[in-house]
Structure 1
Amino acid sequence: EEERFRSMLERGLKLLEEEVAKLPPGAPLPGEVAFRLYDTYGFPLDLTEDALRAEGRGVDREGFEKAMAEQRARARAAWAGSGEKALDRLWFEIKERVGGTEFIGYVAEEGEGEVRALVRGEKEVPALEEGEEGFVILSQTPFYAESGGQIGDTGWMRADGVEAEVRDTQKVLDNLWLHKVRVKKGRITTGQVLHLEVDHARRTKIRANHSATHLLHAALRRLLGEHVTQKGSLVAPDRLRFDFAHPKALRREEIIAIERLVNAMIRQNRAVETRLMTYEEAVEAGAMALFGEKYGDEVRVLAMGWDEEADRPFSVELCGGTHVKRTGDIGFFKIVSESAVAAGVRRIEALTGDAAVTFAEELEDRLRALTEVLRVPADALAERTTQLIEENRRLERALADTRKKLALAGSAGRGGGPEPKTVAGVAFLGQVLEGVPPKELRGLADEAKKRLGSGVVAFVSVNDGKAAVLVGVTKDLAGRIDAVELVRAGVAAVGGSGGGGRADLAQGGGPDGGKALQALAAIEAALAAKAKAA
């Protein structure tokens, strides 16, 4: 993975050097080239600008933004052409007629909203009847619409004789909220005023997970380096997922340090500060912005935790999501997995609050169960487990040696196994082996051929009702007898098809281990026919 990341970095730098060499002295890098570096090689714009600054060059930012906008337009066109085109037009028409939706969810989880439009299927309708599903567009709403990795709110809409379940909340055209509902009782009509209620328990969990992603992001940058940038996220009620730029897997000690730092910020229990300011003011104040995101003239800035060494907020980010009031509301943070997503991109999945506590309790239960089964204290589990693994390997080797001796007893002319027979002038040793792993058959066949000197060996191993068939032919018979032809005869007898390998060693298998003896008989018959023909 590190090699792939390094390779992409080298190719990107090479492209940058080639493009700069084409430019007149002091000329800025074309925006489309900077965008190609970002889109293809993962070069953030600020990294490209830093690389050019030493040469007294800049980047055509306007051209970069134009290339970014063109790509987004292509993506929108592709999405619109995937069957959603009629709905796209409908959303535009509705917004032009009724305007956008006012979001009140930062300050309230309940409120009143007038029904401005209703959509069922791909058509606007005057009402949604009991049992029907559709979208409700309101004048204002406390429901958060999916954005920035945070999933949409759910909850209820009610009026006299009316109740509807809000199953999801989405947003189109910047500020048109789409509430996906199922009418449980009564009917919803245009112009009706509904009482709106967000699922508080679910929102509370989402808030905790979203705030935890901010603390996690800051902790990663503090402990791993400022090259860490967010590449994606998912904020759900039951978990959080955070993708970030980093060239290699995290060591266990790094994961522990990240958890400790995030939990230290949680224990501070400081109030989360929210401010509205211009984008320029926010960036100047040190706020992290997601590269590629579109921000308006006024942005919402979240600050949480306190970095005592630097005497400033621990995390400062631009964010439109919902968050806890105090960091202590997160409760507890626990990383449950760390993995690769792509070259140079890692993924952390984590839990907070009750879910994190439950996860820790389940781990403790498993640990206690292991100590009881192995009859050792927790601090001796690793040593005892290592001992058991080594003992198991020793026993497996001993068992394999025993199987080998039993299987080869016949080929050596001793008792304990079938004696070789002569088939059309060719020595033939065939044996059914119960419980011998298929991977051991090749070694057995090689050894049996050595002991046989000249001839054909055939083994059928039966495991869990299935048969593995292997045929070996000594080198002196090469050109006369083909192991592939013989093994296919045996495979067919146990209900399989095909079989392959080389002329001197071939194998295959079938589902019917009960016909292992028939497989040996089929191989012997095929050998007799082949030897006579030769």
Structure 2
Amino acid sequence: MEKIGLNELRKKFQDFYETKGHYVKKSFPLVPDKDKSLLLINSGMAPLKRYFAGIDTPPSKRMTTCQKCIRTGDIENVGITSRHGTFFEMLGSFSFGDYFKEQSIRWGWEFITQELQLPEERVWATIYEEDEEARNIWKNIIGMPEERIVPLGKEDNFWEIGTGPCGPCSEIYFDRGEEYGCGKEDCKPGCDCDRYIEFWNHVFTQFNREEDGSYSNLANPNIDTGMGLERLACIMQGVDSIFDIDTIRIILDEVVRISGVAYHNGEAKTDVSIRIITDHIRSVTFMVGDGILPSNEGRGYVLRRLLRRAARHGKLLGLEGPFLADLSQKVMEASGCAYPELEEKKEYIQRVISVEEEKFSTTIDQGNQILNDYIHDAKQKSGTCLSGEQAFKLYDTYGFPLELTQEIAAEADLQVDLDGFNQHMQHQREMARAARKSETDAGWADDSSLYVDLPDTEFIGYTTLYAKAKIVGIFSGKTSLNVLREGEEGHLVFDCSPFYAESGGQASDKGSAESAACHAEILGVSRVKNVFLHKTLVKSGEICVGETLDVSVEVENRNKTTCNHTATHLLQKALKNTLGDHIQQKGSSVSAEGLRFDFTHFEAITKETLEKIEEEINKKIIEFIPVKCEEMPIKEAEKLGAMALFGEKYGERVRVVSVGDYSIEFCGGTHVSNSGQIGAFKILSESGVASGVRRIEAITGTGLYSKLTEDEGLITIASEKLKANPSNLISRIQTLNEELKTYKKELEQIKMQAMGSELEDMIANAKIVNGIRLITKRFEDCDINDLRKLSDEIKDKEKGIIVLFATVNGSKVTFMVSVADDLLDRGYHAGNIIKKIAAAAGGGGGGKADMAQAGAKDPSKIEEAFSLAETLL
């Protein structure tokens, strides 16, 4: 049997089915499209569900794919067993109401025996025990001996998930030989031993399961076959483990090279770490390549969990510093021929991995120390479990995925209180929801039943800023009124309105409403479903239901808001052009004052890159590009390539805003008619607002003039305070900074001399406690680093000594404990001592055995903490 490489196997499969009239579709991304039931694509059939369900029309009735897949359900077994992996490729052949069982089985047999030349006598088939049609095809058409056709029950050979399409299946097995078997006479496919390996499943979707549990025949039966590429490669390359096939072994060998740790084919403890890193870097590389970014939720959390798990196992192998980004290059070398996007996005993929690995490296040592302390305390108390509060602190403060905490705890034979963890997580979510609600609360707009009898408001504000509008309702809170009098405030509902109601991140219009008998201000507009609520203050006269008023939108406010809204479209496009297609809008806020735009990105954007983005947007503004807003069917908009807000629901008809052919987006907001009307664009700030989410705040048009005037005022004031001309302001600041550095340095020297002069006195006055000399001293407004230096000088001079310093800076207390080296062997531990000392003063902290520090809140408790130190010794 010829050994065939994995990449060649993939090509053989696709080429074979192409000769059978199948459309070869490249792998769908790992992120499901229009399917919220899955976080990640986990099978070859998953991205084709809408074709099988008849929702979408497939490009061909016959298709073949090699689908990228991620499964994390068995992550705990990855590295421990030879077959479990999180990333894998699934070869598949599909028929959407075209051919059926006989053709599927015949072509499968042809590929196995003629293309791959597997020995016929080592191939077995299982069938559903009631599927006589499949039995006859294998026996009479293929010619397989009946003893190699194994009937199995519904649990093994019938595919169904609840109600809907379902059907029997036939699995194909390879006999690895007696040496892998259990020795039983009746050993055959279905046995738990390792002799027979299932590698290809043919699912015959021919029934529909009804609500009452009965089955009816489908009018157009389908075929769905799936064959694990890595498992097939194991067979074709004669290896027992997926970690030994060519495209995975190249990665594993690189892990061995950079770690200097030998691989023993799964026999050594370190092999688990080598395998975990090898598997996880494959998943991470493909996930980032498909636009997934690390986060604390959803698929981003899966990515973060895999990446951080791999990073930790690198540390277990002795790898210091980041290594995963470089290792991803081996994944690209192994799979780049089939997935060229990996090489195309190489720089981006490696940068995302580097940033996340660096983030984790800054917290893992501290988090590990705290987790080890938790484990130590639990063991001391003969406990078997870490508390949910401890696990949540590691997750929330140090970025430890819960599963990583569980894994490390399990290595110490401890469990984690999952119920307690979930309670803390739920509490945090409730607090976040409450905070969001308080920020966006509009109590008068909560109860839609108030407006159920009112007609929808006709919005005419895209084409006019003025209207004669009839009042159809007046409300104050949840009370319906007939009249609103001078000085009173309420909400008016008109039959039509030129006022844009707050939605889609755009602030509402403001303006006026008046008649011969009254004048009122429109302070803002919200909407409940399709009813517009105009927040109104009556300045004179009174307003009654049924009246018709002249309503006008404030032009300047509308124009400024409109400029900022169109600018967000230019910004999103410029971000994609500059940073990559992974950019997705996560929120926006547009008003007359400026714009705020939240988007997915994995790191802070450099000043140079922000300038490049700014330059691109201003170039598009000065090109005076026509802006077009039009309604069209959603399918037509999708053909144009219009960007939709991820996760947003749209109707059959959508409004599309196009800035020439530069930017095309779904949008219901108001926009300029020409990009030149924006005037200019300036970024004020760029910051992080959540894990994997960045925020840009910017201004346009006259907003720049206001900012320039404000900045000029600040420069004038600063120049007066520093007694400098504006042109010399920078050099004056530099001179003052140099002077300040000199004074600070002199002051530090004086302080150190003062402390040093006390050194001999401190040593001489040390208390002898249990044979150990203990120095305790309180300082005022001292830098903790200076105290560390002082303690090091004491330890250099003396043995058998423990130093306990406290410094008070304002209302804040900082403790430091330092233990002489000769006491470490006797079990004295600075980290353990300081925990109890700091607790006495209302604080907490920790550290290493030789040096530790902690913060506290109550300066009056310092002497009490010093006394406690004596007691502890």
Give the shorter-chain TM-score range. Answer: 0.5 to 0.7
Q: Pick from 433, 448, 470: which aligns with 1:88? A: 448
Instruction: Tell whether 2:527 aligns with 1:171.
Output: yes
Q: Deviations over 1:99-157 (max 9, x none)?
A: 21122212222221110111222232222233333221101111111222211112222
Instruction: Tell whether 2:702 aligns with 1:354.
Output: yes
SS in 2 for 1:302: strand
Structure 1 position 214, deviation (Å): 2.0
Paired with 1:87 and 1:156, the residues of 2 have a C-alpha distance of: 26
Change (3 A) 1:498 1:361: closer
Q: Deviations over 1:12-34 (max 9, x none)?
A: 79965533357999964898xxx
Change (3 A) 1:386 1:260: farther
Contact map agreement 2:621 2:676 (CA 8 A) in 1: yes
Paired with 1:432 and 1:86, the residues of 2 have a C-alpha distance of: 58
Paired with 1:273 and 1:319, the residues of 2 have a C-alpha distance of: 11
- 1:80-479 matched pairs, under 5 angstroms: 87-94=447-454, 99-173=455-529, 175-305=530-660, 313-342=661-690, 344-360=692-708, 392=741, 400=748, 403-412=751-760, 419-420=764-765, 429=775, 431-454=777-800, 457-464=803-810, 468=814, 470=816
Structure 1's unaligned 5+ residue stretches are: 1-8, 32-50, 64-74, 306-312
Q: Deviations over 1:222-264 (max 9, x none)?
A: 4444444433321111111223344544333332222112112
Structure 1 position 459, deviation (Å): 3.8
Paired with 2:637 and 2:49, the residues of 1 have a C-alpha distance of: 34
Paired with 1:224 and 1:186, the residues of 2 have a C-alpha distance of: 56
Contact map agreement 1:491 1:508 (CA 8 A) in 2: no
Change (3 A) 1:327 1:445: same
Q: Read off the aligned partner of 1:165 and give its amino acid letter.
A: E
Paired with 1:185 and 1:255, the residues of 2 have a C-alpha distance of: 50
Q: Read off the aligned partner of 2:592 and give its amino acid letter.
A: P
Structure 1 position 322, deviation (Å): 1.6
Change (3 A) 1:365 1:12: farther
Q: Deviations over 1:413-456 (max 9, x none)?
A: 6xxx8952667897565555443223433442343244344456
Contact map agreement 2:811 2:857 (CA 8 A) in 1: no
Higher relative contact order (CA 8 A, sep 6+): 1
Change (3 A) 1:23 1:145: closer
Contact map agreement 1:118 1:135 (CA 8 A) in 2: yes
Paired with 2:843 and 2:626, the residues of 1 have a C-alpha distance of: 69
Change (3 A) 1:104 1:479: closer
Q: Deviations over 1:198-231 (max 9, x none)?
A: 1222111101101111222333334444444433
Paired with 1:315 and 1:480, the residues of 2 have a C-alpha distance of: 66
Change (3 A) 1:374 1:338: farther
- 1:64-75 matched pairs, under 5 angstroms: none
SS in 2 for 1:407: helix
SS in 2 for 1:215: helix
Paired with 1:319 and 1:193, the residues of 2 have a C-alpha distance of: 31
Paired with 1:445 and 1:106, the residues of 2 have a C-alpha distance of: 73
Change (3 A) 1:452 1:386: farther
Q: Read off the aligned partner of 1:90 and give its amino acid letter.
A: L
Paired with 1:270 and 1:508, the residues of 2 have a C-alpha distance of: 59
Paired with 1:156 and 1:150, the residues of 2 have a C-alpha distance of: 19
Q: Deviations over 1:291-332 (max 9, x none)?
A: 444445554433335xxxxxxx32333332222233222111
SS in 2 for 1:329: helix
Q: Deviations over 1:346-405 (max 9, x none)?
A: 3322110121233355557767858996989989969x969968994x986776565445
Change (3 A) 1:257 1:371: farther
Paired with 1:140 and 1:389, the residues of 2 have a C-alpha distance of: 66
Paired with 2:643 and 2:869, the residues of 1 have a C-alpha distance of: 75
Structure 2's unaligned 5+ residue stretches are: 1-28, 56-88, 97-163, 165-432
Paired with 1:24 and 1:284, the residues of 2 have a C-alpha distance of: 20
Q: Read off the aligned partner of 1:187 and give its amino acid letter.
A: E
Q: Aligned-residue CA RMSD in angstroms? A: 5.1
Paired with 1:302 and 1:446, the residues of 2 have a C-alpha distance of: 67
130-139 vs 476-485, which moves further: 476-485
Contact map agreement 1:418 1:431 (CA 8 A) in 2: no
Change (3 A) 1:381 1:19: farther
SS in 1 for 2:662: strand
Contact map agreement 2:631 2:653 (CA 8 A) in 1: yes
Paired with 1:265 and 1:153, the residues of 2 have a C-alpha distance of: 27
Q: Read off the aligned partner of 1:253 and give its amino acid letter.
A: E
SS in 2 for 1:169: strand
- TM-score, normalised via structure 2 length: 0.44
Contact map agreement 1:412 1:451 (CA 8 A) in 2: no
Contact map agreement 1:472 1:483 (CA 8 A) in 2: no
- TM-score, normalised via structure 1 length: 0.68
